[in-house]
Amino acid sequence: MEHKGHKSSHHHHENHHANVKSEVDVLVHYENNLLTIELKDKAGNAPTLEVSHEKIFHLIIASFDLKQYYHLHPVDKGNGIFQQEINLTEGLYKVFADITPQDLNYKIEPIDLQVGSTEQNNQASLQPDTTFQKTINDITVKLEMNSLVVNEPTTLDFQISGGQPEPYLGALGHVIIIDEDIEQFIHVHPESADKTVFHTQFTEPGIYKIWGEFKFDGEVLTFPFVIEVK
């Protein structure tokens, strides 16, 4: 795969613009199955975080090959310190702190987290799916998309059979999209509280991995799909 060099990354996220200079520093440390994240503004103080979808902190972790994926809500230890117990296997991960600091500009950017030795850092080489249907625990999710063209609105319609999704973080599902080069992070929420239909727009062509998260009988299941945007 050719390397595209340093292209600017775009994050479409509520209240954020791609050219914003982030005023919050995010430090990540992992030891003994404990992930510690420290948030500081430019003066060294802990920023105040606003609640977004029932939580003040959505932590997304993806392995460099995009095979492993976690959406977590770290525990607020006070003073800008958040902690999350997690057992990560060796390798390189990308960490995204999805937060909304009060009165401060913030842009979600991937943070490198190396666990163990540095040998196993395989870049993602994703093949776009040919059929968009996945079954986990007898629940089948079929993904229908209207347009996968850059700068055109895209509708992601997750049709669920075999179970009834329950509200999860204030919605009937969450969708996270990360591109193959792990430069873009898109967190999409459903168009309404009772539907599993999502709207987004892609600003760069390429291959993306989509994780649709839905809750059934108290358990969150994650359905992965790989798409190509032209």
* Pairing mode, strands 206-216 and 174-179: antiparallel
CATH fold match for the domains 24-115 and 133-229: yes
Over residues 9-20, mean pLDDT: 47
Q: What is the pLDDT of residue 170?
A: 83
Q: What are the residue boundaries of the structural domains of the chain, listed by start? A: 24-115, 133-229
67 beta partners? none
Over the stretch 35-74, which tens digit does the pLDDT of each residue have?
A: 999 999 999 999 999 998 888 999 999 999 999 999 999 9
pLDDT band at 2 (very low <50, low <70, confident <90, very high): very low
Mean pLDDT across the chain? 88
CATH of domain 133-229: 2.60.40.10
One-letter-per-residue 3-state SS of the chain: CCCCCCCCCCCCCCCCCCCCCCCEEEEEEEECCEEEEEEEECCCCCCCECCECCECCEEEEEECCCCCEEEECCEEEECCEEEEECCCCCEEEEEEEECCECCCCCCCCCEEEEECCCCCCCCCCCCCCCCCEEEECCEEEEEEECCCCCCCEEEEEEEEECCCCECECCECCEEEEEECCCCCEEEECECCCCCCEEEEECCCCEEEEEEEEEEECCEEEEEEEEEEEC
Question: How far apart are the two ends of the chain, measured CA to CA in Å?
Answer: 17
According to CATH, the topology of domain 24-115 is: Immunoglobulin-like (2.60.40)
CA separation for the pair 218, 230 (Å, rounded): 37
The more confident residue out of 17 and 58 is: 58
This prediction's pTM: 0.85
Over the stretch 198-230, which tens digit does the pLDDT of each residue have?
A: 999 999 999 999 999 999 999 999 999 999 999
